[in-house]
Amino acid sequence: MDKMPKWADVVLIPLISLLLATILSALVILGIGEDPIAAVKIMFDGALGSTYGWGYTLYYATNFMFTGLAVAVAFHARLFNIGGEGQAMLGGLGVAMACLYVPWPHWSIALLAAGVAAMLFGAAWAAIPAYLQARRGSHIVITTIMFNFIAAALLNYMLVNVMRPEGSMDPATERFPAAVHLPTLHELLAPLGIGFSKSAPANVSLLVAIAACVLVWALIWRTRLGYEIRAYGHSETGARYAGISPFRITMIAMLISGALAGLMAINNVMGEAERLVLNSTEGAGFIGIAVALMGRSHPFGVFLAALLFGFLFQGGAELALWSNIPRELIVVIQALVILFTGALDNMVRMPLERLFLALGNRRRDMGEGAPLPERKPTQPTE
C-alpha cells in the first residue's frame, strides 16, 4: 500500500532531509562560535560568485557525478558498493599508465584511451568483491571496504616503489606529457566568446559525466539489462523465476559501478592534477554514497545532488580560507545528509506518510525507486 504520492518521496523527503542537515550544520557553526549567515555568504561567494568559483564547483561536481552514479547503479541491484574510493584510486592508476607510457598524438584520443583504462581498472577492482558476493556469498559491503584499504596500500606501493621518478621525494608520478592535457572550461568556452576563469580545473570531463548520467538513465529505465538489474534488486527469487541470473546481474552491476567510479580519474587525475598523487580521490568515492542517497538513485537526482556537493566542497574550501571554520564542516554536512536520507529515512518518512494518509488524497502511482541495500520488502498483513 503506497501511503504517499511518489513526488513527495522523490522531492519532499530529500528536501526535508537536506533542510534538517542544514539546520544542524548551522547549529554546529553556531556552536563553534561562528556566524552561520556569514558562513553561507562566504560559501555562495566562493563557490558561485565567480567563474573561478563555478569552475571548482563544477570540477568537484564532476567527480561526484561519477561516484554517485557508481553507487546508484549498484543500489538498483541492491548492492551497497562502499568501494568507490578504491575503484577511483585504481582508475587513477589506469589513467596514469595510459598517459605516461603511451605517446598520444591528441588529447581526444588520449581521453578515450585513458577513460577506457580508468573504467577497466575500476571495474577490475570491483570484480573480485562482486565475484565473491555472487559465488561465495561474502558480504559485499565488508569486502569493498577491505578493498579500499588494499587499494590504498597498492597505490602507495606503486607511487613509492615503482612510478616515482628517479630522485624525487614526492610519492607521485611525473607530470603527464602536454599532449594529453584536457581542455578546461576556459579553453572550451573561449571560442564561443564566453569568458571563464583560466585557473579553474573544470574541464571536458564534465561533459563526459553529464553524458554518463544520460546513459545510466537509459540503461536503468529503457534497456533489458536495466530491467533485469531493477528486478533483481527488488527480488532475488523473482529474478530466478524470470530466468535472470543473479550471478550475471551482480557481476555486471558491480562492473558498471566500478567502471563509473574508476572513470572519475579522467577528471581529477588527467584533467586537474595531470599526474597521479597519493590521496588524489579526496574522499569522492564516499561522497558518492551521500550523492546517490540524496539523488534517490536516479541519474537526474544524482546530477543535482552532485552539483550540491560540488558547491558544498568548494564553498567549504573557501570557508576554511576566509573564516575559522575548518574544511571538515563539509564532512559533517555529508555525514548528516547520509544520516537523514539513508539511515534515518523512516524518521523523516513516517510523519509525512501519516500526513498524507490524513489528507487522503488520490494520486497516481509512479513506480519504484532503487531499493536500499538489505531492506526487506514489507509484506502486506492479513
For residue 337, give the nearest of 6, 87, 22, 10 by alpha carbon.
22
CB of 272 to other proteins, least distance (A): 23
**Residue 247 in the binding site for other proteins (CB under 8 A):** no
Stretch that binds other proteins, among 92-100, 243-251, 266-274, 296-304 (CB under 8 A): 243-251
Q: In whole angstroms, how close is the CB of 371 to other proteins at the nearest point?
A: 7
Q: Check residue 241 for interaction with other proteins (CB under 8 A).
A: yes
Q: Measuring CA to CA, how many Å separate 362 from each of 153, 350, 357?
A: 55, 19, 10
Residue 38 near other proteins by CB under 8 A: no
Q: What does the alpha-carbon distance between residue 196 and residue 345 come to, in Å, rounded to a whole number?
A: 40
- Contact with other proteins (CB under 8 A): which of 149, 165, 194, 198? 149
Q: How far is the CB of 86 from other proteins (least distance, A)?
A: 10
Binding pattern for the stretch 41-80 against other proteins, x by CB under 8 A and - elsewhere: ---------------------------------------x
User: Is 170 near other proteins (CB under 8 A)?
Assistant: no
- For 228, phi then psi, to 5°, come to -70, -40
Query: Which letter does DSSP use for residue 301 in this model?
Result: H
Question: C-beta of 242: minimal distance to other proteins in Å?
Answer: 4
Q: How far is the CB of 184 from other proteins (least distance, A)?
A: 30
List the interface residues with other proteins, window 108-147 (CB under 8 A). 128, 132, 136-139, 141-143, 145-147
Residue 189 found at the interface with other proteins (CB under 8 A) = no
Pairwise CA distance, residues 289 & 68, whole Å: 6
In sequence order, the β-bridge partners of residue 184 are 203
| Nearer to other proteins (CB atom), residue 187 or residue 236 | 236
Instruction: Give the integer Cα–Cα distance in Å for 323 and 43.
Output: 11
Nearest Cα residue to 82 out of 100, 70, 94, 97: 70
Site for other proteins contains 336 (CB under 8 A): yes
- Residue 338: CB minimum distance to other proteins, A: 4
Binding piece for other proteins, criterion CB under 8 A, among 54-62, 109-117, 229-237, 270-278: 229-237
CB 302 within 8 A of CB 189: no
Range in contact with other proteins (rule: CB under 8 A) among 96-104, 169-177, 202-210, 340-348 = 340-348
Site for other proteins in 351-380 (CB under 8 A): 357, 364-368, 371-380
> Which helix (H) or strand (E) element contains residue 295?
none
Residue 157 near other proteins by CB under 8 A: yes
Q: How far is CA 68 from the centre of its chain?
A: 2
Q: Return d(Cα 188, Cα 175) in angstroms, integer.
A: 22
Q: Does 345 bind other proteins (CB under 8 A)?
A: yes
Using CB under 8 A, pick the residue from 101, 192, 193, 224 that binds other proteins. 224
The burial of 135, by beta-carbon neighbours within 10 Å (0-12 exposed, 13-18 middle, 19 or more buried), is given as exposed
* Of residues 159 and 270, the one with the C-beta less far from other proteins: 159
Asked if residue 154 binds other proteins (CB under 8 A), the reply is yes
User: How many residues lie near other proteins (CB under 8 A)?
Assistant: 89
Interaxial angle between packed helices 51-76 and 205-222, expressed in degrees from 0 to 180 and rounded to the nearest 10? 30
Decide whether 165 or 326 has the Cβ nearer to other proteins: 326
Asked if 23 touches other proteins (CB under 8 A), the answer is no
By beta-carbon proximity to other proteins, the closer residue of 49 and 342 is: 342
Of 194 and 366, the one with the shorter C-beta distance to other proteins is: 366
The residue within the footprint of other proteins, chosen from 45, 49, 181, 245 (CB under 8 A), is 245
DSSP assignment of 119-154 equals HHHHHHHHHHHHHHHHHH---HHHHHHHHHHHHHHH
Helix axes 284-294, 13-31, angle to 10 degrees: 130
β-sheet bridge partners, residue 277: 172
Other CB atoms within 10 Å distance of the CB of residue 37:
10
- Residue indicated by cell numbers 607511487: 159
Is residue 244 near other proteins by the rule CB under 8 A?
yes
Residues 265-324 that bind other proteins (CB under 8 A): 286, 289, 293, 324
Instruction: State the virtual CA torsion across 241, 243, 247, 250 in degrees, nearest 10.
Output: -80
